[in-house]
Amino acid sequence: MNFDLAPEEVAFQREVEAFLAANASPEVMDAHPEQLSQTVDSPAKRAFMRKLADKGWLGMSWPAEYGGQEKSGIYDFILTESLSRYGAPQPGKGVGIVGKTIIRHGNETLKQFFLPKIIRGEVEFAIGYSEPQAGSDAANIQLKATKVDGGWKLDGKKIWTTSAHFADWYWVGARTDTSHKHKGITLFLIEMNHPGLTIHPTMTIGDERTNEVFFDDVFVSDDFVVGEVNHGWTYICEALDLERFAMMPVGPLEKKVEALTEWVRTSTCDGEPRRDVPDARRSVAQAVTQLEVARMLQRRVISEALKDRVPTVESSQYKLFMNEHGQRVANAALDLMGAAGQLKPDNDDAPIGGRFERSYRYTVVDTIGGGASEIQKNIIARRGLGLPPNF
């Protein structure tokens, strides 16, 4: 695998970096990029996404017939990583999960209705898989979809729908056949302003809003069924592989390691430079070394994706390692900072603006979104190592 960027790819990376520097704004970008840009909405952020669309940077790897440029997926990767380093909004769900699934499996109505909106940056999506009894076990979805004349009626509940309070459309998995666990799920697209939907906020340990969504006789036309009825499990698995890659860039982790390294380099401990303290030097060395491992695991995902393969095992390996390394970096930072590290971001005495107090809490959320770490270990064990169930 050759991980070096070609000259034209390096030129694109520089173009994106120059654009981001010229359009830097606290209304659009997080000063400490975790992933909070993906969980709040504003007119400024939507305008920023339209700027990306005007540059032709959304859906660059899509087929030309759907508005794409048929470029290598490495360009999507370069854009996503650059945006993540600035804490800027990312194309993520629309371009990657929803758009690519519709291109592969959607009917012509869905393609004509959604793909132009996605590639113009005009629509936001929420993803509805998790339920009270089906968190990371998406095959256990129980939201009931009943066939009626011209469509389906949905009744039940979803949890952990992060973008439900501002999204325009809901990408939802529902149970259409109770006789099969995996082969009885169907994907639907529903307007978030549907009168049968009720949204209740849930605040997480990481200062992030997610939501419960209640369905009460929610009608969905047959035209807004994604792909074939009862084939949703296959589509969800493909989409989760895309999510683990597209929605989880390594950029925020790089920024955290950089912040920790700079703090150790410039701060003091009992009047002595902290960079001379053995434990501090060891922590920084481990953080930087394991960051490089995360980068290489990410490149393996990219390598598979560029071969037009679904990088199931590679995505799980990358997500698991990156999330756990994020926790290790936050833990190391708070250990080195002592009691002061527990000060929150609104406290003037908090080291590095309280960044790692927040990061310590937010990295717990990271281990759940896109499939919990335990699920990633199971995928690696069974699909990667060939181990039997219940080994």
| pLDDT tens per residue, range 142-196 | 999 999 999 999 999 999 998 999 999 999 999 999 988 888 999 999 999 999 9
Lowest mean pLDDT among 78-92, 123-137, 182-196, 269-283: 123-137
* pLDDT recorded at residue 265: 96
* pLDDT recorded at residue 35: 52
pLDDT band at 391 (very low <50, low <70, confident <90, very high): low
* pLDDT recorded at residue 194: 97
Question: What proportion of the chain, given as a percentage, has pLDDT over 90?
Answer: 65
Q: Where are the domains of the chain?
A: 7-90, 250-384
Tokens 């590639």 belong to which residue? 119
How does DSSP classify residue 387?
Answer: P
The distance in angstroms from the start CA to the end CA of the chain is: 32
Determine the topology of domain 250-384 in CATH: Butyryl-CoA Dehydrogenase, subunit A; domain 3 (1.20.140)
Q: Is the pLDDT of residue 236 over 60?
A: yes
pLDDT tens digits along 331-361:
999 999 999 999 998 899 999 999 999 899 9
Rounded alpha-carbon distances, angstroms, from residue 308 to 61, 231, 303: 11, 21, 9
Alpha-carbon distance 379 to 316, whole Å? 7
Q: Which CATH architecture has domain 7-90?
A: Orthogonal Bundle (1.10)
Stronger pLDDT, 36 or 251, i.e. the higher one: 251
Element (H, E) at 35: none
Q: Is the pLDDT of residue 51 over 80?
A: yes
pLDDT band at 41 (very low <50, low <70, confident <90, very high): confident
Q: Count of CB atoms within 10 A of residue 177's CB?
A: 13
Q: Is the pLDDT of residue 38 over 70?
A: no
Q: Which of 234, 133, 117 is nearest to 184 (CA)?
A: 234
- Compute the average pLDDT of residues 5-15: 93
Q: Is the pLDDT of residue 101 over 60?
A: yes
* pLDDT recorded at residue 242: 56
pLDDT band at 31 (very low <50, low <70, confident <90, very high): confident
> What pTM value is reported for the model?
0.88
Alpha-carbon distance 4 to 2, whole Å? 6
Q: Is the pLDDT of residue 105 over 90?
A: yes
Rounded to 5°, angle at Cα 330 from 327 and 332? 105
Q: Is the pLDDT of residue 52 over 60?
A: yes
Beta-sheet pairing, 125-128 with 197-203: unpaired
Phi-psi label, residue 2: left if phi above 0, alpha if psi -120 to 50, beta otherwise: beta
* pLDDT recorded at residue 3: 64
CB 81 within 8 Å of CB 249? yes
pLDDT tens digits along 301-328:
888 877 777 778 998 999 999 999 999 9
